Copies of this chain bind each other. A is one copy, B any other.
Amino acid sequence: MIILRIILVGFGSVGQNFAKIIHQNFGNIFVDFGFYPKLVAVVDRGGAVINPKGLDVERILGIKRAKQTVSLDSEYGMVGAKALEIIENIDSEIVVEATPTNVIDAEPGLSHIEAALKKGKHVITCNKGPLAVALPALIELAEHNGVFLKFSGTVGGGTPILNFAKKCLKGNSIKAVRGVLNGTTNYILTRMETGVSFERALKEAQMKGYAEEDPSYDICGIDTACKLVILANYVLGLEVTLKNVQINGISKVTYKQIKEANKRGRAVRLIGSIFNNRLKVSPEEIIRSHPLCTYDVLNAVTFETDECGEQTITGRGAGGLETSIAILRDLIDIRDSLSREFNFNGRIKK
């Protein structure tokens, strides 16, 4: 399969970056990985733009900027078109689901993903909501329909935390997972170490674009809990959802507590942990020399293995460009798995 046709649902920062990346690297992707990605439909809140022969990415990015919705494209736009109809009726191998996260009922992402899987399309998503609420059922559905469900951008953004655990720790038994999984809260806790108040640190985080206008999702630990659920399912094979996580956020962490910890060579961090099949999100004291003790917005996850001790991966945890790179990686993985060609020593044989 040389061409992979893609329906992109959700055209915010991640969606637009993803479109840009596959457009700009069209030739390279073929040379390095042996396939052409072709965007056949893009859906946003206003409707869709569709061209089975392949969309002109620069043109639709221009229309999005100018008119807020791609559906106003004069030639291929469809005002009011719904994602579910497009997923159902437009031929494609892949659906990329990039609508905003909603942890209450996971919609509209959940319905999009279910529809695509049932239609026999591979799904790549960066939307944590459907996974936090229904990951075990979605994996079943993907299995049943013989397609891939990929979501490496949901944990760690561009830092490949899930793939690291899955692809690089084969042959190890993972006993425990502990992670700093939310950049916003880590930024706030890092700033509080220098004497800045919680309120001011939060305001700074908002000004720098790290925190949302309503930051409760981060502050209360929900974002960390979603990522923990995804790790538990994907890496440890636990069949759990958000309901199974005990969650405490950082709103009760005081400057005094942080200062006391600092005196003992420790720092307070919001840690998501999985141990003995129990999932927990809570502020914890971490020894400063431990790799898990990251600063500012850096994420880190430590996998504790029986045979090789602790292994930690650290990197930026979010960002539209970074997350869109994770989607591209998932796309390459799907293509690799579908391909039956041998690939010796990392060199591509075509």
| Interface residues in chain A, defined as those with a beta carbon under 8 Å from any beta carbon in chain B | 21, 33, 139, 142-143, 146-149, 157-160, 163-164, 166-172, 234, 289, 291, 294-295, 298, 300, 305, 307-316, 321-322, 325, 328-329, 332-333, 337, 340, 342-347
What would 12 A/B residue contacts be, using CB atoms closer than 8 Å? A21-B307, A158-B172, A159-B311, A164-B313, A168-B168, A291-B291, A291-B294, A308-B315, A312-B312, A312-B315, A313-B314, A340-B340
Copies of this chain in the oligomer: 2
A20 smallest CB distance to B (angstroms): 11
Measured CB to CB, the nearest residue on chain B to A302 is B314
The 5 closest A-B pairs by CB, nearest first: A158-B308, A160-B168, A311-B315, A291-B314, A312-B314
Most central of A146, A321, A345, A346 by chain B CB within 10 Å: A345
Q: Are B300 and A309 in contact (CB under 8 A)?
A: no
A295 and B325 CA atoms in complex are apart in Å by: 32
Q: Are A322 and B308 in contact (CB under 8 A)?
A: yes
A38 and B322 CA atoms in complex are apart in Å by: 43
Q: Are A300 and B308 in contact (CB under 8 A)?
A: no
Q: Given the interface contacts A143-B344, A309-B322, does A332 sit within 8 Å of B171 by beta carbon?
A: yes
Q: Which residues of chain B are within 8 angstroms of A168 by Cβ–Cβ distance? A: 160, 163-164, 167-168, 329
Q: Given the interface contacts A163-B168, A294-B291, does A313 sit within 8 Å of B316 by beta carbon?
A: no
Q: Are A333 and B170 in contact (CB under 8 A)?
A: yes
Q: Are B307 and A315 in contact (CB under 8 A)?
A: no
Q: Given the interface contacts A294-B291, A322-B307, does A166 sit within 8 Å of B328 by beta carbon?
A: no
